[in-house]
């Protein structure tokens, strides 16, 4: 069964085939979690959002339409789940509409192979960052440590950590143009601290 074919995958989900659901999880879980993380900046909350989306997708699978992209449906579902979560927790900061629309545009108009190619380019540029800059950026944006935790871990000031992260974004913005910069945000941006405009 070719689950890479959108129509086949969706029809199998509608039919309640568990193998199709497992394929869906394996294919999209990591990407959806990365997307949810840009919205809430909290690993646990992002995980909850993604799990809820998959559970709701399975429960309402008979309403899925094989003519529409399951990828777009999932990303929109994550965003809708984020809005629901935000409404339940007023302390969360809602991202600016321009930022949200830019991210939505990237994920809905970029196919999987292009996304993987962009990830490779982004990771290559991260590896080319100055050593200290790269170390702080990875601890912050890939490992999920707070600035305070990084400062304690590296025995430096919080201002130094903030400066290194800002420097990393500045370098990456210069190296990664247009859609790549948006993808960088999709993966690593802290929505509560916008370091440069998208």
Tokens of 146: 């707070």
Tokens of 100: 């949200």
Residues 89, 198: Cα–Cα separation, whole Å: 26
Task: Provide the pLDDT for residue 179.
Answer: 55
Task: Provide the pLDDT for residue 121.
Answer: 78
This prediction's pTM = 0.48
Q: Report the Cα–Cα distance between both ends of the chain, in Å, rounded.
A: 40
The arithmetic mean of pLDDT across residues 165-191, rounded, is 68
Q: What tens digit of pLDDT does each residue of 43-100 get?
A: 888 899 999 999 999 999 999 988 889 998 999 899 888 888 766 655 444 444 554 5
Burial class of residue 109 (count of CB atoms within 10 Å of its CB; 0-12, 13-18, 19+): exposed
Q: Which residues contact 65 (CB under 8 A, 6 or more apart)?
A: 10
> Residue 63 in contact with residue 162, Cβ under 8 Å?
no
DSSP string, 28-80: HHHHHHHHHHHHH--HHHHHHHHHHHHHHHHHTGGG--TTS-HHHHHHHHHHH
Task: Provide the pLDDT for residue 91.
Answer: 44
The SS3 call for residue 2 is coil
Q: What tens digit of pLDDT does each residue of 120-164 get?
A: 777 888 888 999 998 998 888 767 788 888 888 889 888 898 899
């Amino acid at each position: 069964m070719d689950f890479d074919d959108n129509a086949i995958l969706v029809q199998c989900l509608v039919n309640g085939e568990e193998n199709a659901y497992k394929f869906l999880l394996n294919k999209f879980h990591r990407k959806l979690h990365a997307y949810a993380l840009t919205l809430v900046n909290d690993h646990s909350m992002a995980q909850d959002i993604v799990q809820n989306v998959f559970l709701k997708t399975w429960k309402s699978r008979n309403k899925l339409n094989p003519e529409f992209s399951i990828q777009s449906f999932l990303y929109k579902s994550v965003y809708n789940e984020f809005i629901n979560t935000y409404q339940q927790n007023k302390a969360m900061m809602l991202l600016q509409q321009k930022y949200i629309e830019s991210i939505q545009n990237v994920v809905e108009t970029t196919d999987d192979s292009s996304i993987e190619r962009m990830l490779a380019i982004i990771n290559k540029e991260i590896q080319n960052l100055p050593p200290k800059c790269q170390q702080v950026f990875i601890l912050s944006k890939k490992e999920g440590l707070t600035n305070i935790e990084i400062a304690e871990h590296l025995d430096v000031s919080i201002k130094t950590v903030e400066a290194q992260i800002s420097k990393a974004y500045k370098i990456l913005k210069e190296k990664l143009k247009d859609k790549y910069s948006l993808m960088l945000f999709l993966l690593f941006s802290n929505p509560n601290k916008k370091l440069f405009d998208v």
